[in-house]
Amino acid sequence: LALSNDLRDALVGDELVLHYQPVIDLATGRVRGVEALARWHHPGRGSVSPARFVAVAEATGLAPALDRWALDRVRRDAAALRAAMPTLHVAVNVSATHLGDTDLEEAVFSALGTGELSARELRLEVTESAMMDNLDQARAALERLKAHGIEVAIDDFGTGYSSLSYLSRLPASTVKIDRSFVEHITEDADARAIVSSVIRLAGRLRLTTVAEGVETPEQLAILRRLGCTAAQGFLFSPAVAVADLPDVVTRLT
């Protein structure tokens, strides 16, 4: 596949960039961290969406290389990120097609090995469906990461087929509520009921909740009333280049 070859070259050549989207604590209104989102501007094809190149990476064996690149990019951005916010917490999306194989853990420890980024500052986001593919392996990998002080969030929660009871069986610290629920939370009572249940159960299990894709003050008000821990979305800021983050954080504070 041509796109796969181009992606391999782009990873080797460090031609992708990470943009960072602020995550806002709903109790204090302050920035509690950022999520790293990969961006690829291809010289010939123009900008390729992450949904597309992540799928290509996963289908063609490049997922470990993409994860390794993202973790290393965050390591290199860490000093600038730390300067831009009160406390650095940076979440990296990892392709869990290889969660549980030693590649991912090796890439994580190599990003932490130089001391430029600490285990406390780094978080990983793994999709719910990727964890469900092999629950025992996912749980073991999460336990090992947790033992090293690295927190893991379950991404896109609600879009897979797992029941709420799986939440108690995974050593995760955070649940990210998928944008598809947040989008309809103001007018759809079912969406609101689902989000409310997830927030309540997560709270009982001592997991924090982060709502994704918050675009309006009305959505924010409902999430706050339901006791959601944190939120991100265009209402606050899109993902921005690291150079633009100080101004964005200042505006949000």
Q: Which residues bind ligand G (CB under 6 A)?
A: 21, 37-38, 49-51, 54, 66, 70, 93-95, 155-156, 179, 212-215, 233-234, 239
Q: Give the integer Cα–Cα distance in Å for 1 and 100.
A: 27
Angle at 132 between CA 129 and CA 133, to 5 degrees: 90
Our finding on whether 6 is near Mn ion (CB under 5 A) is no
> Using an 8 Å Cβ cutoff, are 249 and 216 in contact?
no
- Which stretches within 134-216 are classed as H helix? 135-147, 179-182, 189-204
How far apart are CB 238 and ligand G at their closest, in Å?
6
Site string for Mn ion, 154-193 (x = CB under 5 A): -x--------------------------------------
Q: Which of residues 71-130 bind Mn ion (CB under 5 A)?
A: 93, 125
Q: Which amino acid is at 41?
A: H
Quick one: what does residue 213 bind among ligand G, Mn ion, Na ion, none, with the CB cut-off 5 to 8 Å set by partner type?
ligand G
- Which stretches within the chain are classed as H helix? 2-12, 50-59, 63-84, 102-112, 128-133, 135-147, 179-182, 189-204, 217-225, 245-252
How far apart are CB 234 and ligand G at their closest, in Å?
4
Strands 122-127 and 151-157: parallel
Quick one: what does residue 81 bind among ligand G, Na ion, Mn ion, none, with the CB cut-off 5 to 8 Å set by partner type?
none
In sequence order, what are the beta bridge partners of 144? none
Our finding on whether 35 is near Na ion (CB under 5 A) is no
Number of residues located near Na ion, criterion CB under 5 A: 2
Q: Which of residues 120-139 bind Mn ion (CB under 5 A)?
A: 125
> Using an 8 Å Cβ cutoff, are 54 and 37 in contact?
no
Our finding on whether 156 is near Na ion (CB under 5 A) is yes
Of 63 and 88, the one with the shorter C-beta distance to ligand G is 63
- For the record, the structure tokens of 144 come out as 């090992």
Of 155 and 183, the one with the shorter C-beta distance to Na ion is 155
Residues binding Mn ion (CB under 5 A): 93, 125, 155
